Structure 1
């Protein structure tokens, strides 16, 4: 099972799986062309025969391989192993080749999502996505995100949908959310509207002169004649 499917929950779905923008691979591709051109130039001007030619060819190949691994292969592998994944529950970030780093940000913990683009970013369709979240690590910056403005809108929609999904799971209407009822306590119905005045007390007749709803006083006790 490929990443990120192996780390998903049962009801979790991948909405967007991104790598950094292809513009990050342009320098590596140009270096590959330069290395090939330099190797061909060196071979063309190497000695025609003898031990000297063999030594020069070996040196050229060794230098070309080292430069290829450093300037071309490493950036390509770094690009391939960097993942920006948006799911219905969280944002997953993975980086690194030998030294791997990762972070998972639950959608309810995200406080703000912003993007920024330079003129060059707007021309190529890239940008920087900044995610503000609650916790010790706080801000997470994703650089060279493809279509960063669209990804910001997508992430905001996922946060709203997750909010509504949690509200429905607790029995609250869409757009409203409250914490679940504490276990062991029954859900209390809403209180009836307060009535004006006070209810008539049992055993006490209504006395004239008192407003409606106010309790009267009991009649004066009649003593028997002495």
Structure 2
């Protein structure tokens, strides 16, 4: 699915993901990397193959990178566009005049890195979640600005 602008529509803000979103997967790859080199040097076949260590070490990091590259969170002057999915894509258009509430959450560590999550609530669903974005307060303010602008 490709994002296409409608008539008289312009992008106001695009969410980006912070590098801290990769810390756990990157730390896991760092811990597993010595096992990869040990298994390459082991001639006795007691260690699992280097391919096994490479998959175990780097699969979570690769998955996280692909997952974040396949996400799009865009605010236009008409709607909020949410797209997710690596192999299967789901896209949601939320008209700005249908947004009732924007819930913001950020724990202590996320505050240090200026990362957070939003839950966008409309009248008839459980909400759309926007997770792990840089400058979540700015994203919320931009969304609120255009929601209020469309309502008045």
Say whether the fold is shared (TM-score over 0.5): yes
Match of 1:14 in 2: 11
What does residue range 1-226 of structure 1 map to in structure 2 within 5 Å? 3-4=2-3, 7-44=4-41, 46-47=42-43, 52=44, 59-68=48-57, 70-135=59-124, 137-163=125-151, 175=152
* Whole-angstrom CA distance in 2 between matches of 1:95 and 1:68: 25
Give SS of 1:35's match.
helix
Q: Which deviates more, 68-77 or 102-111?
A: 68-77
Gap runs ≥5 in structure 2: none
* Whole-angstrom CA distance in 2 between matches of 1:89 and 1:12: 6
User: Contact (CA 8 Å) 1:110, 1:134: kept in 2 or not?
Assistant: yes
Give SS of 2:143's match.
helix
* Whole-angstrom CA distance in 2 between matches of 1:140 and 1:37: 41
Pick the structure with more helix per residue: 2
* Whole-angstrom CA distance in 1 between matches of 2:46 and 2:51: 10
Gap runs ≥5 in structure 1: 164-174, 176-226
Give SS of 2:80's match.
strand
User: Contact (CA 8 Å) 1:107, 1:162: kept in 2 or not?
Assistant: yes
- Following TM superposition, the consecutive aligned residue runs of length 4 or more in structure 1 with deviations greater than 4 angstroms are none
* Whole-angstrom CA distance in 1 between matches of 2:10 and 2:113: 29
Larger radius of gyration: 1
Task: Count residues in correspondence.
Answer: 152
The CA deviation at 1:74 is 0.9
Give the TM-score of the pair, scaled to structure 2. 0.86
* Whole-angstrom CA distance in 2 between matches of 1:93 and 1:79: 12
* Whole-angstrom CA distance in 2 between matches of 1:143 and 1:161: 25
The CA deviation at 1:148 is 1.4
Query: Do the aligned partners of residues 88 and 151 (structure 1) sit closer, same or farther apart at CA in structure 2, a change above 3 Å counting?
Result: same
The CA deviation at 1:62 is 2.0
Pick the structure with more strand per residue: 2
* Whole-angstrom CA distance in 1 between matches of 2:52 and 2:107: 37
Name the structure, 1 or 2, with higher relative contact order (CA <8 Å, separation 6+): 2
User: Contact (CA 8 Å) 1:132, 1:139: kept in 2 or not?
Assistant: yes
